[in-house]
Structure formats: structure tokens, C-alpha cells
Chains A and B, each alone.
Chain A
Amino acid sequence: MNEPKDTLPEEVIDELLAPLRGIDCPDEVRRANHRAIELAFARRLRTPWWRRTVSVPLPLAIAASVMVMATILALLWPAENGSKVVDAHGPQRSATAVNQERPVWSVSRSYILSIESLSRMENSFRPDSKDKRNDS
């Protein structure tokens, strides 16, 4: 193998690291591993059902969420659409019907404004009222 001089060839490394491959697992470690597995099983059994998780394939998860979104939209859509339908009949309705739907405050306001304008008109037709007061 053509190795640069400053690196160790793989064969040499293989040979060098061979003693590390001889490291074997002591019995103490074996016992600890078995204990860890038993503990993990016990922990899993103790977990209440509402905290357990299941793995779901991603396409299935996406499809389920899209269906939920579609259902929510389908439930909300008729309500919004219905209000638009009522508005669509607007131009065809009579003026009285439109007036009936106007808020009460606007009717009262126009009524008050008309009274004010009438009173102004009345004052303008009585130019001598001030003079009479002065005379007396």
C-alpha cells in the first residue's frame, strides 16, 4: 500500500490495536447489563397508558393531521359562507328593509340633527326678537 510516510498504514494500526480487541467483558459488567435491562422493562410496565408513546409512520401522521385540519375547516366554513350569502341578497332588498337593519343610534342622531336645524331656522325667521327685548 502506498502510504505517505507521516501516517501509519492500516495493517500496522490493525496490529497495534489487536490487544485492545482482546478486552473482554467482566462478569460484573454482565450482571449490571442484565440488571439495567430488567429495570428498563419494569419502568416501561410502570408507565401509565396516557404517557406511553407509539411510533407512527410519517406519511400516516401527515395524512391524519391533514384530515383533522380538513374536518375543522369543513365545520367552520358553512358559518362563514352563510353570512356571505345573506350579504349577497343585499342590493335586491328594499330600502325600508335596509333602513330597518340600520342601527338605532343613527336614526336618533339624524332625528336630533333635524330638530337642531329646525330650531336654527326658527331663530332666523325671528330677527326682531332681540330688538323687542331691548325695547322693554
Chain B
Amino acid sequence: MPRGELLGSLEHIVLLALLRLGESAYGMTVRREIEDRTGRSLSIGAVYATLERLETKGFVSSFTGEPTAERGGRAKRHFRIEAEGERSLREAQAAVQSMSAGLKKRLGTV
């Protein structure tokens, strides 16, 4: 199977969060989604640094929304996963599944 650039673990998780959130994906919802689902506390700076890397790789794109009062008149930057990002995510998922095949006893529910 051809392989593109490997995903880091945080990149992998952020891409999955973008998929789950769809239209409502922006920095804080991504951070909260990861925290709620994994229990892993994450800083907003780490989320944006990861999104920036993914955007540089062409895996995600972003657009700036309108400013809102609840944000002190500041705009949101929405993110969405691109086809290249989905392809990379599928490859990463397949690699994890392939590597964990036959290890169910040792890894439990993986």
C-alpha cells in the first residue's frame, strides 16, 4: 500500500475530532472534543499548532467566520478535513488495525 506522510498521534486524534465535529469544528470545540473523549487535557496552543501542521500538509483547510459578542468581538476560525487528510487518516487507521491484528488478548478491547 502506498504511504504518504505519517501522522503523529496528536495529528491523528485532531483529524478524528474534525471528522466528528464536521461544520462546528474550530479550535475550542476540537480541544473540548478531545478532552471529553480521551480524558487528555490539551492546551489551545497545542491544538492550533497541530492544526497549523495539518494545514501545511494540505490535510485540513480553514476559513474565518464572523466576530461574535460572546467571544469579545473576535472571529472564529473554522477547520475542515480535506480529501488528502481523509486518505491519510484511513491509511493510519488501517495501519493501526493491521498492527493490532492478533493482539486482542494482550490489548484488551482494541
| A and B assemble together | no
A residues near B (Cβ < 8 Å) are none
Q: Which residues of B are at the interface with A, using a C-beta cutoff of 8 A?
A: none
